[in-house]
Chains A and B, each alone.
Chain A
């Protein structure tokens, strides 16, 4: 990534979109909108002082909503370019409320609330489409209860939990536990406030609240409005403290998720959504199970699939090793339903087709291996570029020229072309580069030194 940012021959336009393409192979005129970041890209050094002070907290999409970010943010710490961006939908200053703290603390004088989108025109000879894919949203499968049960998550969310740079520093905390801890934190704040209020009364009347309340309940202080207030506050306080203690006790038993279930083909090989196979999700689940086991040796995983497709170089060996050394069991069957059991444990009901049994079993965490779907806006982009989509919704390419789209001079590679893993994407990317280079070969002097 760094090489891209530094290469003299690459003009990196991040936070930008292609709006229009005119012309033809060899002579395209492309209109690109460079969206306003409200931060001067060449001044921002990525130091992060701004986001420390920003008051607006939002879900962090890079961490799939499992963590938070501020209205001024960087997509991720090692991102290229390293500049920050202000989210115009949520920034206070940009929405008419007074703030501007980021501008005040920025030592590089990079914040600029007056920045506008810039529209640039590019003349190019060829275009390479490498727009990737979109992760299928499993809330479309009601029987998996993805939004209802907190401990049912997607593969990419699991990836963020496993990541040392993720929201839990690589500890596999269950989302239900994280929610409980957040609730405990909020309750503790309320309790502190309540204690302050009670303290004022205690000072005033030189009496402990508990003793006062006892007496109050026995009928003393009847008619005393001030003391009535005190009693009210105390009752409210108790109503906070009791559940808080119970929650804290339960939280003592929180550990990391150790019994994992991976459900393959969520959205894939499914007539309701995408009939095709997403290619890499079997391997992805195996990898996640192996790494989870590395983090915590007691972790066991069950992978539910129809066919376990480990077809790339080294993949079958990896899968077998996972089964032998990392506590993975492969069960052939599609999961019928997920319900929630005690302790927020997801309960998976499935048919083990090899054993010919229908089973319901609970796990600590269920991970849905979601489909690799055509990316957001692919129809619009196809329209802008004047190229066709194939029947699966990806960019259509030729039979004997597999990287050429339906329009000369425009090429597709990677998941924009169809679901594939990283080595295939890389090989195709080089291939598309070759095709594009051939178009402009005549115009370039091929003096690259």
Chain B
């Protein structure tokens, strides 16, 4: 049952308000600390209220039944439930209203538990009065509620994966196996990313080249995966479900495609430690350069010193790149395997051999005669022509290690192009330049921007196993979207009145979801209702009140406030 309500800022005139209020006892959670019967009685006296009922548990089957019965028998056109937090049961109550033919957005919830009974447990009288006040506020707002319709958008079941390294290949393969079309774009002439430069993988010594081959065959075997090598993503527009992308092959014509979701798997690169520890690329090299020497067979040093945390965990770059310790240990063991007489000495601050396999590698390495010594960051080792000098805090002595090769373990750093990509996709990067996920703990692969995901070292340095897992994870996140027929999002979104908007773009700066765009031809801002999450920041900012949040419009909120 829909009601035509004038959005004029005045109380609705079209039809008589018939508000139903349901006060919840919540067992003893609420009723134990305030007088629910009294609140219910009070509610029945409020303007517009035609029905008030107290329930033991509104969220129970019986309680839901009462709401639906009330809607039908009393012809309610607004429902207010005074109970717990909306986070617990608002969707349940809204769906119950919908099932009884009342628009679910004509439902208002008042929290008299978390915000009343639970925090005023020893103050029964005051708590009762406060509950009455809160109910009165809720009823006043309810009078101004308008019916809304959920927003629907189409979904294109195709995914763009940017980056053909381990993470990207893993994501692409998994997506293809789930029946989605995949477009993988890789800027190099060959896929595989950093893995192409690596000799062997920890912990089992597998050849990296074999792994790359395996993954490439996998992708080629999947007809619904299309690989663009030697290509870049030139342009991206649109939003979740409906992105329009332009792919530019090197020296070729642009290719236009439409995709529903995007995966960022652009990886990272090892830092070249110019100016640190006498780095020269010949006698003082990086771990990656050591890998290349292994591959070309030119690794013949007899006495090797490795130095950890070069250019990391320092003021310029505070983070720990987490995979360099295991890389050093892996390579140290390979040196010994190739030449058991070789001397390998690793100078470190903390050996970051987290987990099961890494720790085992560390132990095995020590058993193989690889030496480990801790150094203090305030007295770092000094690299000389034929030796490395360092202060050993554990014995208080200055030590000298003769060597013919020094290997510096440097961190992975974000690629040069990541800034540009972040702007193209309108996704954030953190203070270290890595792509910033929606939530550090619970949404490590999502961006706050809907429909775009990240995996692998583009997010943060990851080893092969982690990159593969994260690629799989990103594919699952995408499936939760693209497996649906259509995208349905809440009706509680912002809208900007084109008549009064002056195009100041204050709202755009505030929007955390990149949901507002500026239309230069009209000099106004416009909300993308699919991306909008209804946070209200724009509405709070807009100096002309042109941006308004549905369900939380000024007249609705003011009614609530005035009712106090």
* A–B direct touch in complex (beta carbons closer than 8 A): yes
Report which A residues bind B (CB closer than 8 A): 2, 6, 45-49, 107-108, 269, 275-277, 279, 307-317, 320, 332, 353-354, 356, 390, 392, 394, 399-403, 418-420, 422-424, 426-435, 437-438, 441, 446-449
Q: Could you say which residues of chain A place their CB within 8 Å of the CB of B29?
A: 47-48
Identify whether the interface residues of A are mostly helix, strand, loop, or mixed: loop
25 A–B contacts, CB within 8 A, in A order: A45-B59, A47-B26, A47-B28, A47-B29, A48-B29, A107-B56, A276-B355, A277-B353, A277-B354, A277-B356, A307-B350, A311-B352, A392-B360, A419-B355, A422-B441, A423-B440, A423-B444, A426-B441, A426-B443, A431-B473, A434-B472, A434-B479, A441-B177, A446-B483, A448-B485
Q: Could you say which residues of chain A place their CB within 8 Å of the CB of B444?
A: 423-424, 426-427
CB-based contact B479/A45 at 8 Å:
no
CB-based contact A320/B318 at 8 Å:
yes
CB-based contact A46/B356 at 8 Å:
no
CB-based contact B28/A48 at 8 Å:
yes
Tell me which residues from 303 to 342 in chain B have a Cβ below 8 Å from any Cβ of chain A. 313, 318-320, 322
CB-based contact A354/B92 at 8 Å:
no
CB-based contact A449/B485 at 8 Å:
yes
Task: Give Cα A394–Cα B355 distance, bound, in whole angstroms.
Answer: 11
Q: Could you say which residues of chain A place their CB within 8 Å of the CB of B443?
A: 426
CB-based contact A316/B468 at 8 Å:
no
Tell me which residues from 472 to 510 in chain B have a Cβ below 8 Å from any Cβ of chain A. 472-477, 479, 483-486, 488
CB-based contact A427/B359 at 8 Å:
no
Task: Give Cα A226–Cα B275 distance, bound, in whole angstroms.
Answer: 97
Task: Give Cα A203–Cα B58 distance, bound, in whole angstroms.
Answer: 57
Smallest CB separation, B509 vs chain A (Å): 25
Residue picked from B206, B374, B395, B483, most chain A C-beta under 10 Å: B483
Does B42 reach chain A (CB closer than 8 Å)?
A: no
Which residue of A has the minimal Cβ distance to B59?
Answer: A45
Task: Give Cα A105–Cα B222 distance, bound, in whole angstroms.
Answer: 63
CB-based contact B206/A399 at 8 Å:
yes
Of the candidates B177, B350, B351, B394, which one forms a contact with A354 in the assembled complex, judged by CB atoms under 8 Å apart? Answer: B394
CB-based contact B356/A430 at 8 Å:
no
CB-based contact A275/B359 at 8 Å:
yes
Does B38 reach chain A (CB closer than 8 Å)?
A: no
Which residue of A has the minimal Cβ distance to B445?
Answer: A427
Task: Give Cα A135–Cα B470 distance, bound, in whole angstroms.
Answer: 26
Given contacts A424-B466, A441-B177, A446-B483, contact A316 B319 (CB under 8 A): yes
Which residue of A has the minimal Cβ distance to B31?
Answer: A47
Q: Could you say which residues of chain B place their CB within 8 Å of the CB of A446?
A: 179, 483
Given contacts A315-B320, A427-B444, A434-B479, contact A419 B470 (CB under 8 A): no
Q: Could you say which residues of chain B place their CB within 8 Å of the CB of A428?
A: 469, 473
Which residue of A has the minimal Cβ distance to B174?
Answer: A434
Smallest CB separation, B18 vs chain A (Å): 29
Smallest CB separation, A374 vs chain B (Å): 10
CB-based contact B440/A434 at 8 Å:
no
Q: Could you say which residues of chain A place their CB within 8 Å of the CB of B354?
A: 277, 279, 309, 311, 419
Task: Give Cα A108–Cα B479 distance, bound, in whole angstroms.
Answer: 41
Q: Could you say which residues of chain A place their CB within 8 Å of the CB of B204?
A: 399
CB-based contact A403/B356 at 8 Å:
no
Q: Could you say which residues of chain A place their CB within 8 Å of the CB of B469?
A: 402-403, 424, 427-428, 431
Q: Could you say which residues of chain B place their CB within 8 Å of the CB of A107?
A: 27, 56
Q: Could you say which residues of chain B place their CB within 8 Å of the CB of A429?
A: 473
CB-based contact B88/A2 at 8 Å:
yes
CB-based contact A426/B356 at 8 Å:
no
Residue picked from A6, A313, A430, most chain B C-beta under 10 Å: A430
Which residue of B has the minimal Cβ distance to A421?
Answer: B441
Task: Give Cα A320–Cα B312 distance, bound, in whole angstroms.
Answer: 13
Smallest CB separation, A48 vs chain B (Å): 7
Task: Give Cα A431–Cα B360 distance, bound, in whole angstroms.
Answer: 25
Smallest CB separation, A443 vs chain B (Å): 12
Does B211 reach chain A (CB closer than 8 Å)?
A: yes
Interface flags, B355-376, vs A, CB<8A=1, else 0: 1111110010000000000101
Given contacts A107-B56, A354-B393, contact A46 B27 (CB under 8 A): yes
CB-based contact A418/B470 at 8 Å:
no
Task: Give Cα A277–Cα B396 distance, bound, in whole angstroms.
Answer: 28
Task: Give Cα A428–Cα B476 distance, bound, in whole angstroms.
Answer: 10
Does B460 reach chain A (CB closer than 8 Å)?
A: yes
Tell me which residues from 234 to 286 in chain B have a Cβ below 8 Å from any Cβ of chain A. none
Task: Give Cα A46–Cα B59 distance, bound, in whole angstroms.
Answer: 11
Does B57 reach chain A (CB closer than 8 Å)?
A: yes
CB-based contact A441/B179 at 8 Å:
yes
CB-based contact A423/B476 at 8 Å:
no
Of the candidates B91, B393, B441, B486, which one forms a contact with A6 in the assembled complex, judged by CB atoms under 8 Å apart? Answer: B91
Of the candidates B27, B355, B479, which one forms a contact with A279 in the assembled complex, judged by CB atoms under 8 Å apart? Answer: B355
Given contacts A46-B27, A402-B465, contact A418 B472 (CB under 8 A): no
Does B53 reach chain A (CB closer than 8 Å)?
A: no
Interface flags, B141-184, vs A, CB<8A=1, else 0: 00000000000000000000000000000000010011100000
Q: Could you say which residues of chain A place their CB within 8 Å of the CB of B320?
A: 310-311, 315-316
CB-based contact A403/B92 at 8 Å:
no
CB-based contact A276/B359 at 8 Å:
yes
Does B434 reach chain A (CB closer than 8 Å)?
A: yes
Q: Could you say which residues of chain A place their CB within 8 Å of the CB of B313?
A: 316
Of the candidates A49, A275, A308, A433, which one forms a contact with B27 in the assembled complex, judged by CB atoms under 8 Å apart? Answer: A49
CB-based contact B468/A402 at 8 Å:
yes
Of the candidates A45, A307, A449, which one forms a contact with B351 in the assembled complex, judged by CB atoms under 8 Å apart? Answer: A307
Task: Give Cα A17–Cα B174 distance, bound, in whole angstroms.
Answer: 31
CB-based contact A313/B355 at 8 Å:
no
Q: Which 10 A-B pairs have the closest CB atoms?
A: A47-B27, A431-B472, A430-B473, A434-B476, A307-B350, A311-B322, A423-B444, A430-B476, A276-B356, A316-B320
Smallest CB separation, B393 vs chain A (Å): 5
> Could you list 10 further interchain pairs (A-B, Cβ under 8 angstroms) beyond the known A49-B28, A309-B354?
A45-B59, A313-B460, A400-B468, A418-B356, A424-B469, A427-B469, A432-B472, A434-B178, A446-B179, A448-B483
Tell me which residues from 1 to 59 in chain B have a Cβ below 8 Å from any Cβ of chain A. 26-29, 56-57, 59
Q: Could you say which residues of chain B place their CB within 8 Å of the CB of A437?
A: 178, 476, 479
Does B87 reach chain A (CB closer than 8 Å)?
A: yes
Interface flags, B443-455, vs A, CB<8A=1, else 0: 1110000000001
Task: Give Cα A422–Cα B57 distance, bound, in whole angstroms.
Answer: 35
Task: Give Cα A279–Cα B358 distance, bound, in whole angstroms.
Answer: 10
Q: Could you say which residues of chain A place their CB within 8 Å of the CB of B475?
A: 431, 434
CB-based contact A433/B441 at 8 Å:
no
Does B548 reach chain A (CB closer than 8 Å)?
A: no
Q: Could you say which residues of chain B place their CB within 8 Å of the CB of A320?
A: 318
Q: Could you say which residues of chain A place their CB within 8 Å of the CB of B356?
A: 276-277, 390, 392, 394, 418-419
Does B214 reach chain A (CB closer than 8 Å)?
A: yes
CB-based contact B394/A447 at 8 Å:
no
Given contacts A356-B394, A419-B355, A427-B445, contact A275 B319 (CB under 8 A): no
Does B60 reach chain A (CB closer than 8 Å)?
A: yes
Q: Could you say which residues of chain B place their CB within 8 Å of the CB of A394?
A: 356
CB-based contact B351/A433 at 8 Å:
no
Smallest CB separation, A74 vs chain B (Å): 12
Of the candidates A275, A356, A435, which one forms a contact with B363 in the assembled complex, judged by CB atoms under 8 Å apart? Answer: A275
Q: Could you say which residues of chain B place their CB within 8 Å of the CB of A441?
A: 177-179
Smallest CB separation, A82 vs chain B (Å): 10
Task: Give Cα A216–Cα B492 distance, bound, in whole angstroms.
Answer: 85
Smallest CB separation, B280 vs chain A (Å): 28
Task: Give Cα A2–Cα B86 distance, bound, in whole angstroms.
Answer: 12
Task: Give Cα A108–Cα B59 distance, bound, in whole angstroms.
Answer: 13
Which residue of B has the minimal Cβ distance to A419?
Answer: B355
Task: Give Cα A428–Cα B88 distance, bound, in whole angstroms.
Answer: 27
Q: Could you say which residues of chain A place their CB within 8 Å of the CB of B398?
A: none
CB-based contact B318/A316 at 8 Å:
yes
Does B459 reach chain A (CB closer than 8 Å)?
A: yes
Smallest CB separation, B151 vs chain A (Å): 14
Q: Could you say which residues of chain B place their CB within 8 Å of the CB of A448?
A: 483-485
Smallest CB separation, A25 vs chain B (Å): 14
Interface flags, B206-247, vs A, CB<8A=1, else 0: 100001001000000000000000000000000000000000
Which residue of A has the minimal Cβ distance to B63?
Answer: A45
